[in-house]
Amino acid sequence: MTDPTENRYPLLAGIERPADLRGLEEAELVQLAQEIRDFLIESVSKTGGHLAAGLGAVELTIALHYAFDTPEDRLVWDVGHQTYPHKILTGRRDRMHTLRQKGGLAGFPRREESEYDTFGVGHASTSVSAALGMAVAAARTGSERKVVAVIGDGALSGGQAFEALNNAGSLDADLLVILNDNDMSISPNVGAMSNYLARILSGKVYTSMREGSKTVLSTIPPIWELAKRAEEHMKGMVMPSTLFEELGFHYYGPIDGHDLHTLTKTLRNLRKLKGPRFLHVVTRKGKGYEPAEGDPCVYHGVTPFDPATGKMEKKPSGKTYTQVFGEWLCDMAEHDPRLIGITPAMREGSGMVAFSQRFPERYFDVGIAEQHALTFAAGLACEDMKPVVAIYSTFLQRGYDQLIHDVCLQNLPVLLAIDRGGLVGADGPTHHGSFDLSYLRALPNLTVMAPADENECRQMLTTGFRLNGPAAVRYPRGAGAGVALEPELRTLPIGKAQIRREGKRIALLAFGSMLAPALEVAEALDATVVNMRFVKPLDAELVLELARTHELLVTVEENAVAGGAGSAVNECLAAAGAAQRTINLGLPDRFVEHGEPTALLKECGLDAAGIRRSILQHIQAEHPALLAEIA
């Protein structure tokens, strides 16, 4: 897209780094906010990405870089959805047209991308922990730099955030935590009086008086106790909670997060203070763009759209695996009243909207709390409920200990509906589901399934739900092959694979999404193709039979090769003493970058051409006689 010009974005055009921003008069910041908002809408309308959160954080971003000496002062963002304005102000404006595209800017902060990105993020609730580490490091080295963590109200629902807040308060760390609260309506406390109070409470005069009075009054215990109670009582009248004070923080706010004068004044005051400080800022998601303000959930993550109308490009036709799960969940809930649906703050992304509306009393959104989600499900299962936890592969990693100890060790009937297995595309390495088959198949009692199409996904969900033990169904993002769904709730035989094509000499053992390219390769090589279906328990009988009748076994999975499904096949052969030639194809031993999924699969050699090439190269190097026979 065209870079900003002086005519279209006169202030923004002159800002290449935050130092330029700090050269502006405060009165110019309101115009700058509008220019950034306009530029952000124009940019994201072409690339797609996260929109509503960034629109709501424009003024806060400006005020932070205006009041603090970044990058010397450390600014740590949580999750990163709201950081597009930060990218625009920190030297990346002219690359925003490459956002989330292969080789372009990442959709989240990344240390490799900019010195202003002090901590790489993608999963929620990490900012306070990271910022606390930086604050402690600054103290250890005698640095005067300031450290700020910006966390949203959603991310604050994660337990790690409270662990860090508790630790920071007990350490008396020199740390400012900003709560960007964009979910609550602006309460009566947020207005002229509240903004005035926040400026006063963060000012030098009040702070010195407060600390001085503590010193004096503490020598007279009864009066000191009375004064403490009076202070808390007064705060209770103008502030929403004393929770953060109890954790050891000095609490300020709530203030209007779109009032630049109040923000800059308050942040400048807070920069001069030391110790744990907590600033509560209330913003509006989608601020300044009517479609996003009207439906911030829809405009949280967008495809390219028309800026004038907000109308988005149509997504590819075909039923997605997420939709298949959502429909199955409602169908199964009709049949079994014990079904309980659980999500860690991913209702829309996991396809649970219809279920939450039809069965509200059986729907639980536990917030960004994956550990709790798993143990909560385990508790339900102990009492004869049948919990279904809908969770992204990348987020299940955060509840691994609970999956091991609270679900699998107790052999409880919890079904994991694992979305976004494999490469997810533009969200990149923080969101790819690259490791689940590896970390799941190591767990005793757990049945692990990977569907090759939509109907098989439905059958596997039914199979896992009806097992008297833990089960996981791992499916990819996006649409399947277009296979029609059977209305019946049918199960599959446990641990049984399916031969999809009879061939000679070479057998391709495909797991989940890799069946389609494996079939294409098999036509060229006259190979046998097996839809393995189960990663655990593996169909050992069929694997050993294929080893006896074929000269080469090739496993293909959209998962890390290390410890993955292919490793399960190797272990099966080794345990039986079968000296069989195998090739294990899957994701490489590195973090795969962001980009369009088909391009990433090609890069990893997991498209049909790449699979065929790998097989032929291996045969040429190790078994040239076989190459002559299949050519």
155 is in an annotated binding site: yes
Contact criterion met (CB below 8 Å) for 179 and 281: yes
570 is in an annotated binding site: no
Q: For residues 377 and 472, what is the distance between their CA atoms, to the nearest angstrom?
A: 14
What is the distance between the terminal CA atoms of the chain, rounded to a whole angstrom?
A: 48
182 is in an annotated binding site: yes
Q: Is the dihedral of CA 152, 154, 156, 161 positive or negative?
A: negative
Length of the chain, in residues:
631
607 is in an annotated binding site: no
Q: Residue 380, Cβ neighbours under 10 Å: how many?
A: 20
431 is in an annotated binding site: no
Q: For residues 386 and 137, what is the distance between their CA atoms, to the nearest angstrom?
A: 47
Look-up: residue for tokens 């049949």?
335
370 is in an annotated binding site: yes
Q: What angle do CA 125, 561, 105 make, to 5 degrees?
A: 45
Q: Do the strands 363-365 and 339-343 form a parallel or antiparallel pair, or are they unpaired?
A: parallel
Could you confirm whether 8 is annotated as catalytic?
A: no
Contact criterion met (CB below 8 Å) for 507 and 626: no
Catalytic residue among 35, 59, 370, 456: 370
154 is in an annotated binding site: yes
81 is in an annotated binding site: yes
122 is in an annotated binding site: yes
Say which residues have a Cβ less than 8 Å from residue 25's Cβ, sequence separation at least 6: none
- Any idea what DSSP says for residue 156? G
Give the residue among 272, 253, 205, 296 at the shortest CA–CA distance from 60: 253
Residue 148 phi/psi, 5° resolution? -125, 130
Catalytic residue among 285, 287, 386, 420: 285
Could you confirm whether 558 is annotated as catalytic?
A: no
Could you confirm whether 285 is annotated as catalytic?
A: yes
Contact criterion met (CB below 8 Å) for 31 and 73: no
387 DSSP β-pair partners: 340
Report the interhelical angle of 565-575 vs 540-549 (nearest 10°): 70
Side-by-side strand order, sheet with 498-501:
498-501, 528-531, 506-510, 552-560, 582-587
Catalytic residue among 265, 398, 441, 458: 398
Contact criterion met (CB below 8 Å) for 370 and 125: no
Q: Residue 102, Cβ neighbours under 10 Å: how many?
A: 15
Annotated binding-site residues for Mg(2+) read: 153, 182
Tell me the catalytic residues. Answer: 285, 370, 398
Annotated binding-site residues read: 81, 122-124, 153-155, 182, 289, 370
Annotated binding-site residues for thiamine diphosphate read: 81, 122-124, 154-155, 182, 289, 370
